[in-house]
Amino acid sequence: MRLIRQILLRMLTTAVTLIGVAVIVFVVIRVVPGNPIAMMLPPGATDEDVLRLTALYGLDKSLPQQFLIWAGGVLHGDFGTSITSRQPVLALVLDRLPATLELSIMALVIAVLIGGVVALTGTRSRDSGIEAAIDIGNGIALSIPDFLWGLILILLFGVLLPVFNISGRITPSLPLNFVTNFYLFESILRGRPDLWLDLISHMFLPSLALAIPLSAIIGQVLKQSLKETMHLDYVTLSRTKGYGENHVILREALPNAILPTLTLVGVQFTFLIGGTVIIERLFSYEGLGNLAIDAVINRDLPLIQGIVILFAVIFTAVNLVVDLLYAVLNPRLRHG
Amino acid sequence: MADGRGTIRRRAGLRLWLAGGWLALLALAAILAPWIAPADPLAQDLLGGRLPPIWVRGADPQYLLGTDSLGRDVLSRILWGARIALIVAALAGTATALIGATLGLLAGFLRGWVDLLISRLIDIWMAFPPVLFSILLIAVTGPGLGPIILAIVVIDWTRFARVVRAEAMAQGAMDYVASARVAGRGRIGTMLREILPNVVPTIVVLLTLEMGISVIVEAILSFVNLSISTDQPTWGGMIAEGRTSIHQAWWVLVFPLIALFLTVLSFSQLGEGLKDRFDPVLR
Amino acid sequence: MSFLTIRNLSAELKGHGVPLLRRVSLQVAAGEVRGLVGESGAGKSMIGKAILGILPRAVAITGGEILLDGVDLLQLPPAQRRRRIGASAALIPQDPLTALNPSRRIGGQITDRLVDILGWQRARAEARARELLAEVQIAEPERVLRSYPHELSGGMRQRILIASAFAAEPRLIVADEPTTALDVTVQKQILKLIQAMQARHGTALLFVTHDLGVVSKVCQKLSVLYAGMVVEDTEVRPFFAGPKHAYSAALLAATPKYTDPAASLQPVPEAVIEAVRREVADADRRAGHG
C-alpha cells in the first residue's frame, strides 16, 4: 500500500510540474513583442486581415482564457496549428520525435559503453598511473559541453579525417521508402545495411558529442562505486574461491555498483536529451531540436509550446523509468 | 600517499595555476583589445576574404590568423570577442549566483511554505530543456547583452538554489546554529551570520563553474544568431560563420574554438580545483 | 607431513617498510585444528589472508614460503595459485552480514566454485548444496537456496557460509574470527557447528581468534602472535596448564574464565609488553645480520 501511495504522490508532483511548465511557456511566449500574425501575412494586408487571423488563432482573448482553451485542446490531443506550416502541431512534432529519440538512445548507448569500459579499466588498474590518467581524461571530458565536443568532432572526423557525415540524418539520394520515422530501427529490422550504415555514419558524431560528457560521469561515478565495492567481504570471499580479477569485478562487484550510478544516469540522460537541441542544429540533423529552433526564430507560438511540453514530458518520463528500474534491479526493494 | 592518486593531488596545484593563468591572460587581452588588436575587428576587406593564417601558403602577413569570408581579421575578432565572453561570464555568473543562492538559502533555512514553493519551482525548471529555454527567452526579449544575462539568470538560478538549499539545511541542523538561536540571535541574523559564511565556499565554486557555462551559453546563442547584435564580434558568431565555410577556411572555426575550449576548460578546472581546496575531507 | 606449512613468512606495508609479519612459521596437519591468537593488529588475520591470496594491495610478502600440500603457493603464477587455493582451501569469514553478495541468490553463491572452478555439472553442484544445507541444519533448503541474503538472519547466513566453505571438500579451512560478529546466543551454536563439520570432514582448520576461551574448546595446537611474530607455538592442553612465554601468560590472565566470568581481569602488564618488544627488536636485528 505504501508503494501505491508513493506512485500516486509521484504522479501528482509530475502533473504539477507539467502544468507549471505549460503555464510558464504560455506566459513567456505571450510577451513576444513582435506580432506573429503580422509576420504571417503578405505585405499589403489590411488591419481587418490581421484581426481576422488574430481571432482565428484565439489571440484576441485574455491570457487565462487563451490558456484554458489551449489546455482543453491539449487534453484532447489537440496542440493547435503551427503558424508557419499551418499543420497540426502534434503531427509535426510526432513526425520529428523519432529522429531525436534515435539520436538520444544511440548517444546513451555510446555513453554507457565508453563509461563502462573506462570504469572497468580504471577499477582493474586502480591506484596506478592508468587510473590517474583516466581521472584526468574524465575531468576534461566533463568540463567541455556537448556543443564544443560537436565542433571538435566536426573538425576531426568531418574535415581533417573525413570518415563520417557531419550534416543531415541520411543521404537524401538513397531509396527512402520508410514506413515509420524510426529510420534506424526500421532499417535494422528490415535488414537494410545500405540504409542503417548511412544513418549511423550521419548519427555517429552528433551522438558521440552528446555522449562524451555523460560517459565521463558514468566512468567517474561507476569507478568510484566499483572501487568501494571491491573492498567488501563478499568480493574477497569470491577471490578465495579461485576467481580472478575480471570475474570478481564483473560478476561480484558490478551488479552492486550499478545501482548508485543508475539514478545519476537518469538525471544526466535528461540533460543529454536537452542537448539534442543545439547538437541537432550543429549537425543539421532533422529532429525535434532543429524544429524547435526554427519555430523560435519564426515565432511559431503553438509549435514552440508543443515542443517544450513534449520535452518536459520526456524528461519526467525518463525520471519515472529510472525510478522503476531502480526498484526492479534492487533485490531489497523487489522482495522487501 | 604512495599510490598513483598522490600524483593527482600534486597536480591539483598545477591545474589551478594553468587555469588561472589562461583566464588572467584572456582578461588582459580583453582589456587591452583596442590597443593590441592588429586590425579593426569589423573592417571588411572583400578582396582579402578567407586568407589563411600566416604559416600557410597564400597568407597575407598582415593577418596573423587569417581572415573570414568578409575579409575581417580573425585574431582581432577573437580579442574583441574575449571582451564579450568575459563580460557575460562575470555579470551573468554573479547575478545568477546572487539570485540563486538567495533563494536556496531562504528555502533551506526558513523551510515551510517558502521551501515548498521554491522546491516546486526548481522541479518545474528541471523539466525544461535549458538550451531551448534560453533560445526562447532571447527570441522574446530580442538580442543584446542585457537579454543574454537575463536569460542565463532565469535558466541557471536553480544550479545555485539546489545546492545552497541542501547545504543550508545541513548546516541548519547543526548544533552551532541551535546555540546561536538560543543565544538570542534572530532568524535572519542567524541565517546571515551563521549559515551564510559556511555556504560561501560552495557558492564560489559554483560561481566559477557558472562563468564557464555562461561563456558557452553566449556562444550557443551567438551560434543560432540570437546573441549580441551582429556588428559585435563574438566567439559564437565566429564559430557559426566558420561552421558554414568549414571546408574552405578551417581557421575561421578553429581559432575561436580553441579560445572557447581553453576558456571553458579553465573555468571548470578552476572551480574543481577550488572545490578540492575547500573540501576539508580531501585536504 | 603437514598439509599447510608456513616457513619464515615476512610481509610489510608497501612503500613504508613497516613489517607486518616477521618470519612466521607454523604448521597445520591434516584434520588438525590450530588456533591463531593475538591482540588486534598482531597479524593473525594477515596470515590467513596470505594463505588464501587475499592480502590487501598495500601489503607485500617479502620472504618465506607457504606450502599447501607440499607446493609453495608463492612460487606459482597467479592464475594457478588462485585455482589451487580455490580447489583445496576455503574461508569462513568474520561477518556473515557482509560476506554474501546482496544481489545474488544463495544457491549460486554456494555452487559457483564447484561449477566454475572445479567443473562440476550444475545439477550435481545443486544437489551438493542441498545436502550441505541439511548438514548445517537449515530447514527448507530449497527455499533458502532461492533466497537473497537480506531475507535471512545473521545466524542463518553464517551457517550458509560454513556450508559453502565445506562445499568443495577442501583440505584446509581458514576461519577468521567466525563468531565475533554474532550474537552471544548464536556464537555457541556456530562454534559447535564448525567443530562438528571439521570433525566429520576431517579438514585441517586454522582458527583465527582473539578469544583464548574459544581456543581451549576447539583447538589442539596454538600459535600466539605479537607484532607479527610467533612468540609461542604449542599444544593447547599444556598451554592452558602453564604457558611458557611471559606474554602468553599475561594474555591468558587477561582472558575471562568460563568458570568464573566475574573474576577480575589483569590487563597485559607494561613490563611484559616491554620485554616482548625487546624480543621482537632482537629478532629483527638477528635477521638483519643473517
Q: Does the CB of C119 have a partner CB in chain A at under 8 Å?
A: no
Substitution target from A296, A315, A319 for chain B, most B beta carbons within 10 A: A296
d(CA B194, CA B176): 8
Residues 219-248 of C with CB under 8 A from A: none
Residue (of C168, C189, C170) closest to C178 by Cα position: C189
Q: Which long-range contacts (CB under 8 A, 24 or more apart) does B241-248 make?
A: B241/B68, B241/B69, B242/B68, B243/A151, B243/A154, B243/A282, B245/B50, B245/B68, B245/B69, B246/A154, B246/A155, B246/A158, B246/A159, B247/A159, B248/B50
Q: How confident is the model at residue B1 (pLDDT cuts 50, 70, 90)?
A: very low
B2 touches chain C (CB under 8 A): yes
pLDDT digits (tens, 9 = 90+) for B33-92: 889 888 788 878 777 777 888 787 877 778 778 888 887 888 999 999 999 999 999 999
- The confidence band for B233, taking pLDDT boundaries of 50, 70 and 90, is confident
Give the pLDDT band (50/70/90) at residue B12: low
Does the pLDDT value for residue C124 go beyond 90? yes
pLDDT of residue B4: 45
**What pLDDT was estimated at residue C1?**
66
Q: For chain A, which residues make up each domain, given as ranges?
A: 89-334
Q: How far, in Å, CA of C163 to CA of C131, rounded?
A: 9
- Is A234 touching C (CB cutoff 8 A)? yes
The residue in chain B having the minimum alpha-carbon distance to the alpha carbon of residue C16 is B2
CB-CB contact of A170 with A199 (8 Å): yes
Q: Where are the domains of chain B?
A: 2-278
B140 — pLDDT class (breaks 50, 70, 90): confident
- C229-273 per-position pLDDT tens digit: 898 899 988 888 888 888 888 888 877 665 555 555 677 788 888
In this complex, which of A233, A237, A241 lies closest to C117 when CB atoms are compared?
A241
Q: What is the pLDDT of residue B21?
A: 94
Distance between CA B87 and CA B33 in Å, rounded? 13
The per-residue pLDDT for B13 is 79
Q: Are the Cβ atoms of C102 and A244 closer than 8 angstroms?
A: no
State pTM to two decimals.
Answer: 0.87
A113-127, B142-156, C112-126: segment of lowest average pLDDT:
B142-156
d(CA C224, CA C42): 9
Q: Does B281 touch chain C (CB under 8 A)?
A: no
Question: Which residues of B, range 119-158, sit inside 8 Å of A by Cβ?
Answer: 120-121, 123-124, 126-133, 135-137, 139-140, 142
Chain C neighbors (3+ CB pairs < 8 Å): A, B
Phi–psi pair at B227, nearest 5 degrees: -90, -135
Residues of chain B contacting residue C15, judged by C-beta atoms under 8 Å apart: 2
Could you give the domains of chain C?
2-287 (3.40.50.300)
Flag if C103 and A238 touch (Cβ within 8 Å): no
Range name among B55-64, B70-79, B131-140, C188-197 with the lowest pLDDT average: B55-64
Using CA atoms, how far residue C39 sits from B77, C209, C220, in Å, is: 73, 9, 20
Which residues in chain A touch residue B220, judged by CB atoms under 8 angstroms apart?
Answer: 147, 278
Q: Alpha carbon B157 to chain centroid distance?
A: 13
- What are the DSSP calls for A14-47, one per residue? HHHHHHHHHHHHHHHHHT-SS-HHHHHSPTT--H
Q: What's the whole-number average pLDDT of chain C?
A: 89
Contacts of B2 in chain C (CB under 8 A): 14-16
Q: What cell numbers appear for B25 in the block?
A: 591572460
The whole-angstrom separation of Cα A164 and Cα A185 is 20
CATH topology of domain B2-278: MetI-like fold (1.10.3720)
Helix (H) or strand (E) holding C20: strand C18-28
Contacts of A18 in chain B (CB under 8 A): 127
* pLDDT for A36: 61
Pairing outcome for strands C221-226 and C229-235: antiparallel
Average pLDDT of the segment spanning C72-96: 93
Domain A89-334: assigned CATH number: 1.10.3720.10
What's the rounded Cα separation, in Å, for the pair B146 and B157? 16
Of B128, B224, B272, the CB nearest to A293: B224
**Which residues on C lie below 8 Å from A327 (Cβ)?**
none
Closest CA to B216 of B160, B151, B275, B166: B151
Separation in Å, CA of B117 to nearest CA in chain A: 12
pLDDT tens for C102-112 read 989 999 999 99
| Contacts of B among chains (3+ CB pairs under 8 A) | A, C
Residues in chain B: 283
pLDDT at A316: 86
Least confident range from A148-162, B64-78, C19-33, C206-220: namely B64-78
Question: Cell numbers 543539421 label which residue?
Answer: A284
**Residue B1 touches partner C, C-beta closer than 8 Å:** no
> pLDDT tens, position by position, for chain A (336 residues)?
566 777 788 788 888 888 888 888 888 877 665 556 665 666 667 777 777 777 776 777 777 888 888 888 888 888 888 888 889 999 999 999 999 999 999 999 999 999 999 999 999 998 889 999 999 999 999 999 999 999 999 999 988 888 899 999 998 888 888 888 999 999 999 989 989 999 999 999 999 999 999 999 999 999 999 999 999 999 999 999 999 999 999 999 999 898 888 888 888 899 999 999 999 999 999 999 999 999 988 888 889 888 988 999 898 888 888 877 777 777 665 554
pLDDT, average across residues C158-176:
94
Cβ–Cβ gap B135/A129 under 8 Å: no
B194-203 pLDDT, tens per residue? 788 888 999 9
CB contact under 8 A, A154 and B220: no
